[in-house]
A and B are shown apart, each in its own frame.
Chain A
Amino acid sequence: MKLIHLALHVCLLAGACFAAAPAPEAAKPGEELARMAGVTGRFGGGLTIGQRSEPKTLNPVTATDAISREVIGRLMGDLIEINRASQLTEPALAKSWKISADGRTFTLQLRKGIRFSDGHPFDADDVVFSFNVYMDEAVDSPQRDLLIIDGKPILVSKLDQYTVRFVLPRPYAAAERIFDGLGMLPKHLLEKPYREGHFAQAWSLNVPPTEIAGLGPFRLKQYVPGQRVVLERNPYYWKVDRENQRLPYLDELVFLFVGTEDAQIMRFEAGETDMVSHLSSENYNLLAREKSRIGSQLADMGPGLEYNFLLFNLNDLGGKKLDEVATKQAWFRDLKFRQAINAAVDRQSIVRLVYGSRGAALWGNVGPGNRLWVNQALPHPTQSVETARQLLKSAGYSWNSAGQLQDPTGRLVAFSIITSSSNSQRMKMATLLQDDLSHLGMQVHVVPLEFRAMIDRVFQSFDYDAAIMGLGGGDADPNPEMNVWTFNGTSHLWHMGETQPATEWERELDQLMQQQMVTLDYAKRKQLYDRAQQLIAENLPFIFLGTPNILAGATARVGNFHPAVLDPYTLWNADELYVRGSALENAGVR
């Protein structure tokens, strides 16, 4: 008795005690499982992941925040997945698909005989139900925008128990990529709340584990408010490894709520969590220095998809009382002025001082991390104050005796750059930029603002001169960029709410973006997008600055740790992660 008590105590202390998880079910005849030919590992044990805060919901349709999605993504399965390593699509719940010649009709063949994590079979009815929910205006899913093309929904119909047809209102390039991130819902559990009109409240964090089921590698075991969410193996998961053993390897996956990014690092250093994604370069370098002590694996995956830039306020200010900004817009609208700033920016210093050399300089909206789409032909001019001065001179600017820059009407050039005070990297960029531009005689003021206050100025009030912001990080495809570069896009930051393209090059850019969206051939699409990138780089609606590398870390005991540059960086292959042998024995877990 005493011994058991002691063992229990030790378990509690170590936090590494895993109650019996369900064993993987044996394969049933006729069950069409996906075989991962390259995957091997060891069964058993669990991993702990530190999260900045609690997920808000476990509902895959209504979740909007990254933290909820990190958990939900492990519970849900998609029809077609984007392989994070190759950045290409591959079969998932759909074992194959056909695209009609006009690119509008997709016919998907589902895997037969597979089951949800509660053992209930999955078929075409679940797919049709799921898409109806995702596209329902009343449910208000953030994914709905993807599925409504030109204001018309995608038509989804069941052909037989395992075949589903999708008809798009018009051809849509790389439409199969839409399916990634749309978790298939169990009709038998969710139809009732949907019919009764309270779908949004379904699957909150307090949902009993018996009432939630998905097709992901894990299922919900326990939620402890304010502390953790515990997931356990889905015994019916539809992927097997090289030895035809049903995945996942892990018995449990625990999400621990730790508070802040710094707390994530401290917990990891203390060995209380096994993995950190979204590492900043400072924290990465910190962990690198302690690597031998902690015995961790650190991964620098190279530049990601995020792009950070300086943005000038080119908005139409008619009706707003912003005379001060309006007079400065004469400078910002001058392409030579923007080119001069572009030439004066010391991007190498940004990479070195802001990203600790773990990042890349950018001259366009697509960085080197997006291998399939980056326009390699764009020039990468080095910083030159001389070129910048020449450009300003040719545009009629001059310098007074104190070396201050004057515009053609004799006004001193002075403007402010706003940036989010909670983003230390962008604050640093602003401070570097301020110094760079002082060499041109420009007086630049850096104004850190609380994040929401900054967003309000950029999106609503237009009461700002210039801002440093970041975008991107979704999928490695031009389509998620549509809302930035089309004139009526919701993130057309430099000139919001245009009724028509303001300039000739914006008109061409708009056409290119619209065309690439309906062009199905990769080579032709690439050509269009290359030209779009060229237009952006030449006309500089944004002055591109840099992109951070994707950095991640895991303890030595994590096997198959293969982070990717696409989100989710580390947990995309949660079904393949395992606890290394020696670590299992050391921890005394089975």
Chain B
Amino acid sequence: MRAKVLVVIALLLGLHLALLLAGFVAPYDPTAQNRELSYCPPTRLHFEDGSGFHLRPFVYASAVVMEGDQAGSYQEDRNHEYSLRWLVTGPSYKLFGIYESTVHLFEVDEPGRIFLIGTDAYGRDEFSRVLFGGQLSVSAGIVATLITLLAGSIVGIIAGYYGGWVDELLMGVNELFLSLPWLYFLLGVRAFLPLHLSTLRTFFLLTGVIGLIGWARPARLLRGVVLSSRNRNYVLAARGFGATDSYLLRRHILPELFGLLLTQAALLVPRYIAAEATLSFFGLGVNEPAASWGNMLSALQQYSVLVSYGWLLAPAGALVVTSVLYSSLAEVFHSRLKSHTT
């Protein structure tokens, strides 16, 4: 059990460190286009050539096949080898948005290119984009989840615990939000805002819109749980002994909700990361050329892209890994909490 906890935490730390240090880990500028290398498949690392085995891996350049059955696909040009180098200077970037640096973890000799997970329609390095996109998507997903759950639990607990007209009023508002035609709301929001939004403003907009739309469902769920636990015998007993509202909430009700909130969070984070792809359809998402997992995934809405260029599923893979890690973390928290309370 303990080993599992350590592994999960190590992996999560690793993931977030990689995203945080995206500029250093990524070999290229995520917006730099290589128009000659559109939809280039992942570059293969080689250790062996005609002259034998090399300790330092190298890559070959990719070139488009012009004629024949394979026209349009890529082949390796075996005439030149480009060695992989560690800690080299490359395009400049800003670490944490502050420190300017040009040092990259790895790169290959110029004019060679290394695309660990291929390129997109414009020949941009998918690996660099996944890292830079992750910065924005993961943080937006987490912040939006926090907003949703915070708003949802405040409303849900108040409604469930106090009941009566408070409950009716809050749940009435709740139902109103659940039944609003969000399509028109989003169109309205878009019309109201200026056309261009900086990435920072987009971030607040995204989290704000998702929080606004998202709070209603968890609020209903929490209200139900609070309502049922309020009438449990031990709660009634505690109340009979003169326990105050705040004591009851703190000691008996909130611990009941904790597990629920954690599982909700583990479910909501990946969902909100993907929701950004939907919002970008209304012009509310992260705009080109900036990367986010959501707008990278929207390229896959086309069937032909989905079946032809499998490596573009990378942001989905990253999303799956992230959400598995988060839900494992939630599970760990949950079980530790249980062992404490019982």
Contacts and interface: CB of A to CB of B under 8 A. Distances in A.
Contacts of A464: 195
Interface stretch (B6-14, B160-168, B213-221, B300-308): B300-308
**Interface-central residue, B195, B289, B308, by most chain A CB under 10 Å:** B195
A256 interface: no
**Band of interface residues on B:** 20 to 34
Contacts of B307: 286
Given A435-B289, A445-B287, A266 B281 contact: no
Contact of B304 (A283, A324, A445): A283
A329 interface: no
Interface string B152-189: 00000000000000000000000000000000000100
A353 B288 contact: no
Interface string A426-439: 01101110110000
A265 B304 CA distance: 9
B35 A353 contact: yes
Contact of B282 (A285, A416, A450): A450
Contact of A262 (B35, B280, B302): B302
A465 interface: yes
B249 interface: no
A382 to B, nearest CB: 15
Nearest to B304: A282
Contacts of B195: 416, 418, 445, 447, 463-465
B112 interface: no
B75 to A, nearest CB: 16
Interface string A348-360: 0100110011000
Interface in A271-324: 280, 282-283, 285-286, 289, 324
A266 B190 contact: no
Nearest to A422: B281
Contacts of A452: 187
A428 B121 contact: yes
A273 B288 CA distance: 37
Interface string B194-208: 111000000000000
Given A262-B302, A283-B303, A453-B187, A448 B281 contact: yes
Interface residues of A, number: 39
Contact of B121 (A262, A353, A421, A434): A353
A449 interface: yes
A273 to B, nearest CB: 15
A227 interface: no
B122 A353 contact: yes
Nearest to A348: B35
Contact of B280 (A266, A324, A421): A421
A445 B122 contact: no
A446 interface: yes
B122 A421 contact: no
**Interface-central residue, A356, A431, A465, by most chain B CB under 10 Å:** A431
Interface of B: 31, 33, 35, 38, 72, 121-122, 187, 190-191, 194-196, 280-283, 287-289, 299, 302-305, 307-308
Q: Closest 9 CB pairs between A and B?
A: A262-B303, A282-B304, A445-B196, A286-B304, A449-B283, A416-B195, A416-B196, A431-B288, A446-B288
13 contacts: A285-B304, A285-B308, A286-B308, A353-B38, A431-B289, A434-B288, A435-B122, A448-B280, A448-B283, A449-B190, A450-B190, A453-B283, A465-B195
